[in-house]
Amino acid sequence: MAVFMNLDTTRAFAELRRYAEPPRLDTLLNAARVRACEVPMGGGLSFNWAACPIDAPRLAVLKALAAEMELIEKFRMIAKGEEMNPGEKRMVLHHLARGELAGPVVRAGRDYRAFYEGERRKIAEFAKAVHEGRIRGSSGKVFTTVVQVGIGGSDLGPRALYLALERWAKATGRFKLAARFISNVDPDDADSVIAQIDPAATLFILVSKSGTTQETLANENLVRARLAALGLDPAKHLVAVTSETSPLAKSPNYLASFFMDDYIGGRYSSTSSVGGAILSLALGPETFAELLTGAHEEDLLALEPELERNPALLDALIGIYERNVLGWSATAVLPYAEPLARFPAHLQQLDMESNGKRVNRFGEPVAYATGPLVFGEPGTNGQHSFYQLLHQGTDIVPLQFIGFRENQMSADILSEGSSSRAKLDANLVAQIVAFAVGKSDTDGNKHFPGGRPSSLIHGERLDARALGALLAHYENKVAFQGLAWNLNSFDQEGVQLGKVLAKKVLAGLDPAASGVEGALGAYAALLGLPSAGVANAARG
C-alpha cells in the first residue's frame, strides 16, 4: 500500500525548490528539442513539452518526486477501485466507464465495468430507436432535437464535447439530432432555449445524480409546464440520467432512465451515462463509443512507469514545478480549434473543483499552493484579446496550446497565398516561440521579455477518438496533481455553504437580525427578495 504524504515533506520537493529560477527558454528551445520532447498520447495525439521550463536536471528531480510519492502506484489504486475519495468514502471509477485499467472492480456482487457498459448499451439501443423513429414525441413527431437539462458536471463536459464534435459529425454523416443545453436556474436560460426549438419534436434529458439538484429540478418543472401548455405529454418527452436510488429512477414520469452512481463524480462524468445519453442521441452511439476508446487509450498511458512516456504525469509534474516552485498561479488553455470553444470551461471546472482545496486528504491544512486558476478561449481569438497580458503583463501564466493539422469541415479558402487553416496553425506556432523567446527592443513598450512557457497537444484532426484522449489526459493530469498535493480531488465540500445559506434566504430571514443573517437580509432587500422569505411569501 502506498504511503500518503504532503508534497513539502518529500526529499524530492526540497531538491526541486533549489531550482527557484526557470531555465532560460531562449537558449533551451531549438529544433532538436522540439523533436525530442514529443510524447505519444491516445487517440493519435502527442504532447510536446519543448517550451516548458524543464531541462535534464529538473526532469531528473521530477522523476524522483514521482517515485518518492509513488504517484503511479496511487493512480493504480484509483484504477483498482480503492476508496480514493476518502471524504465521501467512495471509489473513483470514471476510468471504468471506458475500460479496465487494473483488472475488474467488483463490490457486493456488482462488476462495475459490466454495469457502466450495460448502461452504455441501453443508451445505444434507446438512441437507435429514436433515430429510427420507433420512439417519438407524444404528438407523433419524430425527435429532431435533444436538450440536456443539468448543471455543473452534467452540463459543462457534455456541452463542450458536443460542440467539439458537432461539425465533425455533420461532415462525416454521423449527425443525428441537434443538441441544446439548459443549465442556469435563471429562467431566461430555459425559456430562451425553448423558444428556439419545436417542443413537439424535442427529447429532454434530465441529469441529476441525486435527483435533488435545485436548479435542475426547477428547470424540469419549467420544461414540463411548457410542454403541458402545448398539449404535449411530458412523460413522453423526458428521460432521466440519475442514480438507481434517486426519486427520478424508474419513475413513470420518464420515457426511460439511465443510471450513474456515486463512484463517478459530476466533473468526471462525461464518459458515463451523463455524457453518453446526449452524445449518443445527438451524434450516434458509435461516436460515443469511439470517444471512450480514445479515453481508454490515454488512461492506459497513465500507468506507464517511464515519465517521458506518461503524458499526464509529465504534464502534471511540470505544473507542480510551475505552481509550487516558480509561484505561477494560473494556467491558460488555448485550443487553436473553434470547435473546442467551450472545452476550457469544462477544464476550469474539472481542475478548479478537483484541486481548489486547502486541506489534504486527511483534512489537515497544507502549507503550499494547490490547484491553479484555469481559463482560456480559442485561438486566434484570444490573440486579439488577453494575449497582451500574457506577453507583456507582470505575471507569468503557463500556457497549454492545442492544435490540429486538418479542419473538421472540409471547406477552406485561399487568401493572400495561404489557407485559413495554414494561417491558424502558423499563428499557433508563432505564439509558442514568441512567448518562449521574446524579442529585445530598446523601446520598453516593444520589448518582449519571453520566458513564458507552454506545452502543445497536437494531432491530425479533432475526431471522437482524439477528443476522448484529450479529455482523459486532463482528467488524469488533475488526478496526478491532486495526488502530488496529497488532496482528495474527488469531493467538493466547498460548494455546500452557499447552498445552505441560499436555502436560508428562501426560507425566510428575520428582518431585525444582526450578524450574518442581518447581512443576508440587507443584500436580499437590494435584490428585491421579501425579508420574510420567498417560500413564506408564496404561501401567505
Supply the residues annotated as catalytic.
353, 384, 499
Separation CA 361–CA 178 (nearest Å): 42
Q: Under 8 Å CB-to-CB from 222, ≥6 apart: which residues?
A: 187, 190, 191
Written as nine digits, the cell of 85 is 475519495
Applying CB under 8 A, which of residues 68, 76, 368, 532 lies at the interface with its own copies? 368
Which residue lies nearer to its own copies by CB, 155 or 261? 155
Provide the β-strand partners of residue 418.
Answer: 415
CB of 248 to its own copies, least distance (A): 15
Judged by phi (left if over 0) then psi (alpha if -120 to 50, else beta), residue 486 lies in left
Confirm if 435 and 399 have CB atoms less than 8 A apart.
Answer: yes
Q: Interface with its own copies includes 366 (CB under 8 A)?
A: yes
Is residue 434 within the footprint of its own copies (CB under 8 A)? yes
Nearest approach in angstroms of CB 275 to its own copies is 16
For 458, counting Cβ atoms within 10 Å of its Cβ (0-12 exposed, 13-18 middle, 19+ buried), the class is buried
Question: Nearer to its own copies by C-beta: 220 or 299?
Answer: 220
In the block, residue with C-alpha cell 401548455:
229
Per-residue x/- mask for its own copies, residues 54 to 93, rule CB under 8 A? ---------------------------------x------
C-beta closer to its own copies: residue 127 or 205: 205
Beta-sheet strand order (sheet of 373-375): 38-40, 46-48, 454-459, 399-404, 330-335, 373-375
**Alpha-carbon span 450 to 137, nearest angstrom:** 58
Question: For its own copies, which residue of 11, 121, 309, 439 counts as binding (CB under 8 A)?
Answer: 439
Residues from 123 through 182 that contact its own copies (CB under 8 A): 151-153, 155-156, 166-167, 170
Check: CB of residue 466 under 8 Å from CB of residue 294. yes
Strand partners, 476: none
| 145/147 Cα distance (integer angstroms) | 7
- Per-position x/- string for 481-510, each x denoting binding to its own copies as judged by CB under 8 A, each - no binding: -------x--xxxxxxxxxxxxxxxx----
Of 284 and 403, nearer to its own copies (C-beta) is: 403
The reply to whether 295 sits near its own copies by the rule CB under 8 A is no
Binding mask 512-531 for its own copies (x = CB under 8 A): -xxxx-xxxxxxx-xxxx--
Q: Which residues within the stretch 13-52 sit at the binding site for its own copies (CB under 8 A)?
A: 29-35, 38, 46, 48, 50
At its nearest, how many Å lie between its own copies and the CB of residue 486? 13
CB of 274 to its own copies, least distance (A): 13
Q: Does 357 interact with its own copies (rule: CB under 8 A)?
A: yes
SS (H, E, C) 453-490: CEEEEEECCCCHHHHHHHHHHHHHHHHHHHHHCCCCCC
Would you call 38 helix, strand, or coil by DSSP? Answer: strand
Nearer to its own copies, 143 or 328 (CB): 328
- Per CB under 8 A, the segment of 4-12, 93-101, 131-139, 422-430 that binds its own copies is 422-430
Q: In this structure, which amino acid lies at residue 201?
A: A
Grid cell listed for 512: 431585525
Strand 373-375 vs strand 330-335: parallel, antiparallel, or unpaired? parallel
Q: Total residues contacting its own copies (rule CB under 8 A)?
A: 166
Could you check whether the bond before residue 380 is cis, i.e. omega within 30 degrees of 0?
A: yes
**Part in contact with its own copies (CB under 8 A); list of ranges 1-9, 57-65, 274-282, 443-451:** 443-451
* 419 contacts its own copies (rule: CB under 8 A): yes
State yes or no: residue 412 binds its own copies (CB under 8 A): yes
Smaller CB separation from its own copies, 103 or 363 = 363
Query: Applying CB under 8 A, does 437 fall inside the site for its own copies?
Result: yes
x-marked contacts with its own copies along 371-410 as a string, rule CB under 8 A: x-xxx-xxxxx-xxxxxxxxxxxxx-x-----xxxxxxx-
Binding test (CB under 8 A) with its own copies, winner from 458, 465, 473, 477: 458
Q: Which stretch binds its own copies (CB under 8 A): 4-12, 71-79, 96-104, 328-336?
A: 328-336
Kindly state the helix (H) or strand (E) to which residue 404 belongs, with its residue range: strand 399-404
Q: Residue 532 interacts with its own copies (CB under 8 A)?
A: no
Comparison of 144 and 300: residue with beta carbon closer to its own copies: 144
Q: How far is the CB of 394 from its own copies (least distance, A)?
A: 5
Which one of 142, 262, 418, 451 is in contact with its own copies (CB under 8 A)?
Answer: 418
Q: Which is nearer to its own copies, 208 or 293 (CB)?
A: 208
Whole-number minimum distance, CB 503 to its own copies, in Å? Answer: 8
Between the CA of residue 169 and those of 137, 160, 280, 288, 402, what are the distances in Å?
24, 14, 12, 11, 20
For residues 453 and 383, give the distance between their C-alpha atoms in angstroms, rounded to a whole number.
16
Closest residue by Cα to residue 358 from 211, 494, 212: 494
The reply on whether position 300 binds its own copies by CB under 8 A is no
- Residues from 207 through 226 that contact its own copies (CB under 8 A): 214-215, 217-219, 221-222, 225
The residue assigned the cell 439501443 is 125
Name which position in 6, 202, 348, 486 contacts its own copies (CB under 8 A).
Answer: 348
Radius of gyration, CA atoms only, the chain = 24
